Structures are given as structure tokens and as C-alpha cells.
Amino acid sequence: MGLWTAVVLIVAIGVLSEMYRARLKAQAGRTNAAYEDLAKRLVRLEDRMANIETIVLEQEKAKRFAELHAEGKPS
């Protein structure tokens, strides 16, 4: 193997390793962004679930009061 062949081979290995590192960094960045998006979505869903729970509890309370009111009325 000649001197220039070794130089080209070393440079090619360096370039390929830098490309691989850049690809891994890009994938890690996308993964972090995906986790952040999922975390935001989870917070929104938890808020919606809390609102739904509040609505259901209010409806159940209104139903109980209506039943008590109906029982208290003379026929």
C-alpha cells in the first residue's frame, strides 16, 4: 500500500466517522423533540381528563339532588 493510498484511506475513515456522529446527534435531537412533544400532549390530555371528571361529578351531583327533590315532593 502506497503513501497516498494510506492518506486517502485515513481521510475517508475520518469523514465517514464524522458523518456517523452527525447522524447520531440528529437522531438524538429528534428523539428529545419527540419526547417534549409527547410530554406536552400528555399534559393537555390530563387537563382535558380533569375537566371531564369535573363535568361528570357535577352531573352526578345534579342527578342526586333531583332524585332527593323528587322523593321529597308529596304525590
Mean pLDDT by 10 residues, the chain (75 residues): 89 94 85 86 96 95 91 70
Encoded amino acid at 55, one letter: I
pLDDT of residue 10: 93
pLDDT of residue 36: 87
Total length of the chain:
75
pTM: 0.52
pLDDT of residue 47: 96
